[in-house]
Every structure is written in C-alpha cells, then in structure tokens.
Structure 1
Amino acid sequence: MTRWPLHPPPGEGEALTSWLNRLAEVYGLSVDDLLRHNLAAPGADLPNQQTLDLDPPPWLLPALAERTGTPLDRLRRMTIAGWVPWLLDSLDPEPVPGAAFDTYVRQDSVLLTATERPGRQVPGWRAWLPTDPKRGPLRRACPTCQGTAADGTFGFTLVSQLPLTLSCPQHSCRLEAAFGGLGAFVAWEKPDTRPRPAPAPVVAMDARTHQGLRTGAVPLPRRPVHAGVWLRLLRTLIDELSTPLSALGTGSRRTMKLIWEIAGQPPRAGITGPWRPYEALPWPAQQMLLEAAATALHLIETGEATAHGTLAPLLTPAPRRHVPAGTPPPPRGRDYWQEARDAIEQAVALARHDPAAAHQLLSTLTALTGSETAFHRVRDDLIALGVPAHHLPRTLAEAEGKPNLERPPHVCHFLNKHP
C-alpha cells in the first residue's frame, strides 16, 4: 500500500467512524467504498458499520496506519476495544454468566453499604454499552464545537456516543442530540439547538472522566486514582442511585432523597417498573442518573451528604491529624576528649601572654616526666604553638622550682621523688 496524498488527521478523542467518514469525503467516496477499494484485502468481508467503533476487524487499523501515517496505538484509542480494560474489563464472552457485572459494579460501593444493595443477575452485560444490540450509539455533540469548526473538520467523539458524560470538555456546555449517519453530523434533533451551560457538578464530573481517558489518572480529594478505578466508581454510584428507597435504611434513604431533590429529578430517574441495568435504559433516564451522580459526588465532597461505601473515602479530603511535637532528642554524651582539647587550647592561648600561665602549663604537662629530653620536647612543642620561649622554664628542675644540683636533672628529680 502507498500513503494517501490527502489524509486529515483525527481530532482529539474522535471516533473511528467519524474519521473514516471525513477521509471518505475528501475523495468523494462513501465509507463502504473507502473500505472496499482502499483498505480491505480482495475478497475480504466488510465489517458491520455498527462494530467499527466497537471492535474493527484486525486488518483495518494497520491498513489505516500505513495509508495515513497515524500511529497504530492512537487508532486503537478511537475504538471501544482500545480502551479495554480501562473502560470495560473485556469484550469477550463472560466465563460465568453475571461475572462481568458483579466484578465491575458490585465489587465496591460508594454511597451505600453492601447490605443495602440487592443482588443482581445481569448475564451478558458490558459496561456503558447498550444491552440491545439493535440500539445504535448515541449521537450527541457540542453546538459550539460544531458551529465553529471549519468545513470537513468536525466529527463525533467516541465518548460522546456513550452514556458516560453530559458536557463538552472545552466549552462546558451540554452535549445536544443530533442526527448523524456513519460518523457524520447531519442535523440537530431540535432545530433551535443552542449552547446551554452545564451545571457545575456535571462539568466537574465530566472533567475527571475526560482527564482520565486522556492521561490515565483522575485527581480525587484524597489521592489520584487510575482511570479504571474512576470509571468503576462512577458506574457503581449510578447503580446505587437506582436502588429503590424502600430497600434503604433511614440514613441512606434521607441521603438519597436529598441527592435527587438537589439534582431536580425524581428518585430513580422516575423508574417505577422492574429494575433494569443502566445500559438498558433510554437516554433520558440515563441522563437523569448522570446528573444525580454528579450531584452526589458534589455533596459527598462538600460534606453535605455522608457516604458509607468502600470507595467513599476517596471523595473526601484526608482528615487533619494532630501531629505531636514529639520528644526531644536525647542529650548528647559528654565528649571528654573534646573538652580536654578545648582546655589545652585555652591554656596555650593564655600562656602566649602570661609568663606565669606558661610556667604552670609546662609544669603540668611535664609533672610525670623525669627525662630532660622529654621535658625539652614538650617545651619545644609549646614554643611551636606560639608560647614565647622566655615565658617557659629552661630546665626540668627550674620548672619544678628545685635547685639545680651537680647531677643530671632527671637524677635529681628521681632522688627528690624517691629519697
């Protein structure tokens, strides 16, 4: 294969189908023709268009990378399969029916305790993806992004096609419903669609989701967490918000009513029939649950609502802990050698100016000396340290204040000490 001469790069977070549609428009082709004549091997079956954003055939992404020069890992992130195991654990069939739901949603808790959550059996479930295979992806977009984009550059993002966020990360306005073909914007569902600011709790919640998908980490009040932890926390919270009030204790029931009241929505998003997983609900109910989740997160973080789940501590700042002043370090042991050195230095300094001090110093240092040679060695050392020679006795006998007899000084000294 050769590089295409024209290949506009994919946008930030753009879905694969959206980019394929823009590539096909450059050459005046349909997406099917682009796949059949420029990317697929001869005789290869073309993929179902609804599976392109989910898990494209193995030959498609390497062919696109060769034709456009776009790195393969970036192309993978334009599909749901490229976000396994962050967004969902796996696209493969469950090893045990219901295991996927239990692992993703019920392994931890946020608002409620484990005893307040009724058991659920949801076989064949996959996080954030419609349970009905006939349901196509959501078509939502930001009016500001769509209105300001140059011709041929606007596309649907992958995350906007999932019931995961409500607002645009750039303009903080609500994503609005649109008509679209295969990744192509056609028109707004409401002709008078205008940008509408999203509530602050919704913007804050969505900002964390977008940052997690962009960087792999989400900052929370207690500490940063992996994007996979954040997405599971959010999905767990949504499941708790759909719990019937009759199944809750008094405190949790009061908290749940407060959340729905501040969110401006009816409890359980107005659902009165049998429980269904979030992925099986219509978009209006999903939207209400997302708004309630954003409200719950805000109330927990501000301390206006108390959460009892295993993940709840992540949403509150770490408590301030009193740190005692501690015990003072033990006193240092006396350094007798240093004290002796300091005393000698002071004595030498005094001897430099005081003859009597010099005489006393030399006498002290030679008190146990019976050798004139040793005496003079000490005397010479003091002179070398700056003590004037005329301050010092000239002999051992003179230092001891004894008469100098006609015998060697050391002998006199010996006899005086040992009569």
Structure 2
Amino acid sequence: MTRQWPLHPTPGHGEALTSWLHRLATVYGMDLDQLVRHDLTPPGAPAPKSTDSLNLYAPAALITALAVRTGVPTEQVHRMTIAGWVPWLLDSLEPEPTPGVAFHTYVRQDSVLITSTDHPYREVPNWQAWLPVNSKNRPVSRVCPVCVESATDGTLAFPLIMQIPITLTCPRHGCRLDAAFGPYAFFGWERSKKNDRPAPRQVIIQDARTEQGLRIGTVVLPRRTVHVGVWFRLLRTLIEELSIPLSKLRIRSRRSIELIWRKAGHPARAGIIGPARTYENLPWPQQEMYLEAAATALHLVEAGEIEAQGTLGHLLTPEPDRPADDGSPPRDAWDEAREAIEEALSAAQHDPLAAEHMLAILTSLTRTEMTFQSIRGDLIALDIPEAFLPPTLAAMRSWRTEPGLSNNRPAAIVHET
C-alpha cells in the first residue's frame, strides 16, 4: 500500500513541477531523477526519458502518485505543467493534423494593430505557442535574482511561467528575470552579465495581467474582462504583427509599428533583417525586445497615441462615455419647439425689441401690406402691446435701415414704451 510521505513541502503559487520535485527530493537527500525513477514511477512502467520534460507533460501515473504521497489534488499537480494549461496557453500538445494549422489558428485568426487582411501569409509547420528550445534542445529557465539570493535551502520555487518567454519580470519583486541554465541543484548566471536595468512601467503592467490570468483565469483589459486564453492569443498575435517586415505594411500601419519600436528603445523587429522569424525560435535577448515592444504597443493604444485596427484592438481602449438614461420618456421635437415659441412670445409681451424682432422674422418674406397687417394683428391678439410693433410694412423696412435711431426704432415709440 502506498503511503503519504511524512515530509512534503507544499507547492508554491504557480510553481513548476520539476521545481517542486527537486524540493521534495532534497528533503530526503535524493536528486530529482532518483525520486522520479524509484518512488514515483509505478513498477513495470517506463520512467520519463528526461525529467526536464516534466514541466511540459507528466504521465498520469506520476501525477497520481504525487497526489497520494503529498495530499495535493491531482488537478493542482497537473496545473504545474504546460499540459495543465491546454487549451488556455496553447491549443494542444498533440502533433498538428495539417502542417501550419496550429500557427494559423492561434496567431492569424484574429488581429490587434492591423487588420487581418494586412497580415502577410506565411506557413509555420510543427509550431507550438510559447514553447521555445535552445540550441541544446533544452528549455531555457528564467529566474528572479532577488528570489535566488534571498531564498534558503529547499525554499526556492521556480514558477512555471518563468520557464517560457511570456513575461519579463518577477511578480513579487518587479525586477527583470535572468536566463539560467542547468539542473535545479545548480544554476546561475555570470554576475558581470546580470540584467540590472529597471523594467518599464508598461512591462510590469503587461506581466501583471499575465500573472492575473494564470491566477484567476481572467484578465482585466480597458474595455472589459477577458478569458486568459484570449489574453495569451492577443499577446502572441501582437508579437507576430511586430515581426512583419516593414516593407510589407501599408503606410499607416508601418508608421505605427515604427513608432512602437522607437518608443520601446529597440531597433525595428529586434534588429532582424529579411523575412519574418518565429518568436519561439529567437534567442532570449531578442524575445525580451519583442515583449518590451508588445508592452509599449499596448500602452500607446490605451493612451490613444496609435489606433489598433484589428479585431481585438477594441479591447485595449476604454468604453466611450454614454449619457445615462434618467428614466424619463424621450422628449418630442414638437414639445421643444412649442416651449421655444412660448419663451419668445413671453419676451415679446414685455420687451419692445423682442416684439419688433418677432414681427420682423414673421414678415421677412411678406410683400403686401395686407399680409403684414394680418400678421401684426395676430401678434396683438396674443397680448403683444400694439405700441411695440411698427404700424406698417414700410415703417418696418425703414426702421430696420434708418440710421441714428435708438435700437433702429422711432423715438416716439421708444418714448411711449
């Protein structure tokens, strides 16, 4: 009967499976390979060819054995591998049925900065999102220098997200991650090459959104909250758009892309000349440039300095202000017109200038004295004093044009009022 281990440190938040296995093995004076082969692999079952691959995929039997020995639920153990984030982080770990379909579905199905029709077509077979390998065909780890230097033996946990090139900073300390190679028992970097540059604010915001998505499954964007799968695809599509050769872009899109790279402080396309190269196959320094350029692009879109024309671009700008409905029925245009007439009539009943102005408007197209007197009579019937109104059409015309009279009205009428 399999029993639970008496000592088993709990996995850290977002910790990679191999990181946790190394800490478990350290407790019992073993290395990671010994723990996996002799205590977590069922009798007769083949042991994993390489423990480095366990962050990508772990056999179900190994996950079950870990759950039994530590009391950690199998679902939580599964989430410590990349396979546990399918189909959120990537669509599948299985070989694609048709060459190029995985890349097309993940990267070209939507767009961010430019329209989908402006995307130059290219085929990338046997591709998996965010999963790079270095020249030795081993995953490149990234570590936080502050976490490494402040941790004691057996407490340092490597987050899974730091094992793939999707973030630049540590979620706890906000400092840049450094590339590190080697097993968990020994890792490091050349102190002379340690990256001490502070991370720009837009990079920290971008990484915080990624961390939020992995923690709660959703990401808050300016327009609305989206599923973490949408966020990963938006970010990877944006990186692809930043890699398009400038000569293949229309003038408007080219200017936006050039501005992004200039603001990010890097050469366009991270210095790549010629055809587009796949992000996952780039060395870490160039991947850093692309992640910084992506963060800069998101910042410029949200600030309104560039326009995101793609299908996902609207998510990066706030919802436009719309006046709230106060619950009252909509006003009728005729009601507003009647109110305006009543206000004008009230003014004409007490102000000679307003009365004369009203008569002038109503008779502006009048050509006969009879029509003029009819309109004048209607205004008098509406309680506008007769003395406020010019007596004849001729008088109306002469009062408008004759200079020297106060307010263009006869002195007699001014005196009477």
Q: TM-score band (shorter)?
A: 0.7 to 0.9
Amino acid at match of 1:39: L
Deviation at 1:8, TM superposition (A): 0.8
Aligned residue for 2:280? Answer: 279
The yes-or-no answer on 1:105 pairing with 2:97 is no
SS at match of 1:225: strand
The yes-or-no answer on 1:252 pairing with 2:253 is yes
Distance 1:180 1:189, change over 3 A: farther
Cα distance in structure 1, aligned partners of 2:210 and 2:21: 25
**Contact 1:174/1:197 (CA < 8 Å) preserved in 2?**
yes
SS at match of 2:125: coil
Q: Which residue, out of 126, 129, 138, partners 1:127?
A: 129
SS at match of 2:219: strand
Cα distance in structure 1, aligned partners of 2:63 and 2:206: 32
Deviation at 1:227, TM superposition (A): 0.1
Cα distance in structure 2, aligned partners of 1:129 and 1:206: 18
Deviation at 1:73, TM superposition (A): 1.0
**Contact 1:52/1:79 (CA < 8 Å) preserved in 2?**
yes
Cα distance in structure 2, aligned partners of 1:234 and 1:20: 31
Cα distance in structure 1, aligned partners of 2:306 and 2:251: 14
Aligned residue for 1:186? Answer: 187
The yes-or-no answer on 1:214 pairing with 2:215 is yes
Cα distance in structure 1, aligned partners of 2:317 and 2:149: 39
Deviation at 1:324, TM superposition (A): 6.7
Deviation at 1:155, TM superposition (A): 2.4
Deviation at 1:57, TM superposition (A): 1.6
The alignment's TM-score, normalised by the length of structure 1, stands at 0.75
Aligned length: 329
**Contact 2:174/2:199 (CA < 8 Å) preserved in 1?**
yes
SS at match of 1:122: coil
Amino acid at match of 2:284: W
Distance 1:96 1:138, change over 3 A: same
Q: CA RMSD in A?
A: 1.9
Deviation at 1:224, TM superposition (A): 0.1
Deviations 1:67-98 (A, max 9, x none): 11111111011100000000001111112211
Aligned residue for 1:238? Answer: 239
Cα distance in structure 1, aligned partners of 2:233 and 2:255: 24
The yes-or-no answer on 1:49 pairing with 2:51 is yes
SS at match of 1:187: coil
Distance 1:95 1:292, change over 3 A: same
Aligned residue for 1:374? Answer: none
Amino acid at match of 2:140: L
Gaps of 5+ in 2: 332-417
Cα distance in structure 2, aligned partners of 1:159 and 1:189: 23
Amino acid at match of 2:198: P
Gaps of 5+ in 1: 331-419
Percent sequence identity over aligned pairs: 61
Aligned residue for 2:292? Answer: 291
Deviations 1:279-336 (A, max 9, x none): 1111111111001000000000010111110100000001123457676489xxxxxx
Amino acid at match of 1:150: T
**Contact 2:133/2:139 (CA < 8 Å) preserved in 1?**
no
Distance 1:198 1:184, change over 3 A: farther
Amino acid at match of 1:218: V
SS at match of 1:125: coil
Distance 1:329 1:198, change over 3 A: closer
Aligned residue for 1:9? Answer: 10
The yes-or-no answer on 1:311 pairing with 2:327 is no
Cα distance in structure 2, aligned partners of 1:273 and 1:281: 14
SS at match of 2:188: strand
Cα distance in structure 1, aligned partners of 2:186 and 2:119: 41
SS at match of 2:187: strand
SS at match of 1:188: coil
Deviation at 1:132, TM superposition (A): 7.0
The alignment's TM-score, normalised by the length of structure 2, stands at 0.75
Deviation at 1:27, TM superposition (A): 0.9
Deviation at 1:180, TM superposition (A): 3.0
Deviations 1:192-214 (A, max 9, x none): 74755311000000000000011
Amino acid at match of 2:277: R
Distance 1:85 1:133, change over 3 A: farther
Distance 1:232 1:8, change over 3 A: same
Cα distance in structure 1, aligned partners of 2:17 and 2:267: 36
SS at match of 1:177: strand
Amino acid at match of 1:300: V
